[in-house]
Amino acid sequence: MQKAQSKTTNPSSEKTPAKRPAKKRKRLPKSAYTPDELNEIFQRLSILRPEPKGELEHVNAYTLLVAVVLSAQATDAGVNKATRVLFAKADTPQKMLALGEDRVREHIRTIGLYRNKAKNVILLSQALLENHGGEVPGDRDALVALPGVGRKTANVVLNMAFGQSTMAVDTHIYRIANRMRLAPGKTVDDVEANLLRTIPENHLFHAHHWLILHGRYVCKARKPDCPACVLADICKSPEKTCDIPAALVPLD
């Protein structure tokens, strides 16, 4: 009865959706670095690795998507070992479905969470065929709607397959952003937003790979290898053990 009354007192409510209160922009902690220092950091990382690449092996956007889905809580090397054989047999959603969940599971059984991942690979292949003509969509909302695909996976695919300047925050990037006080944040979403507003725009496209590789090989989780770091003089991390930067020589 009450519901009916409220409809008659506000007849326009069905046609005009209630205005949402303006979303408050979250205040993110500031970067510890000045714009000049930020430019210098990313300039050096760009000299070190002018054309950085991800380490997950793939042959097209579909196999990239599958490899990233498989890489959750697994090493790239472990994923590559399994996918070399898998992708030789199935490099399209059609071929993956033909292979079937049981055989996909067998191929990836050395990777953590393989049962669930095999199921998702089949489900996402089905969804690609049913909703996207067998192609990987270059759109974040469409990507995260696929089974097993989260924001980080979508960001990697948008960056590597579609050339978008996204920031896929993994464990390395989350650690570096906070340890260096580059773009601090309590959650991966906060770190992503903070990095996107902190990194100089001209360096944004490659920044995700530079930071991952810096975290994997130099600013490591257990103990940062500061004597091997080209950022040692600029870095403002309380964990830093050395002030002298390593030689800035391009890596292969």
Residues that bind ligand SF4 (CB under 6 A): 179-180, 218-219, 224-226, 229, 231-232, 235, 237, 239-240
The residues annotated as belonging to the active site are: 152, 170
Query: For the residues of 27-57, what is the DSSP string, one character each?
Result: PPPPPSS-HHHHHHHHHHHHHH-SS---SS-
What are the residue ranges of helices labelled H in the chain? 2-9, 35-48, 61-70, 76-89, 93-99, 101-107, 114-132, 140-144, 151-162, 171-179, 188-198, 204-217
Closest by CA to 154, choosing from 113, 167, 197, is 167
Q: Output 139 or 239, the one with its CB closest to ligand SF4.
A: 239
Q: How far is the CB of 40 from ligand SF4 (least distance, A)?
A: 13
Closest by CA to 65, choosing from 40, 96, 43, is 96
Q: Output 146 or 212, the one with its CB closest to ligand SF4.
A: 212
Closest by CA to 221, choosing from 167, 184, 171, is 171
Angle between helices 114-132 and 61-70 (to 10 degrees): 150
Q: Output 93 or 224, the one with its CB closest to ligand SF4.
A: 224
Q: How far is the CB of 52 from ligand SF4 (least distance, A)?
A: 16
Q: How far is the CB of 184 from ligand SF4 (least distance, A)?
A: 14
Q: Output 157 or 167, the one with its CB closest to ligand SF4.
A: 167
CA dist 164 and 229 (Å) reads: 28
- CA distances in angstroms from 248 to 72, 83, 126, 224, 242, listed in the order given: 32, 34, 47, 18, 16
Q: How far is the CB of 245 from ligand SF4 (least distance, A)?
A: 8
Q: Output 179 or 206, the one with its CB closest to ligand SF4.
A: 179
Count of beta carbons in the 10 Å neighbourhood of residue 102 = 9
Q: How far is the CB of 186 from ligand SF4 (least distance, A)?
A: 20
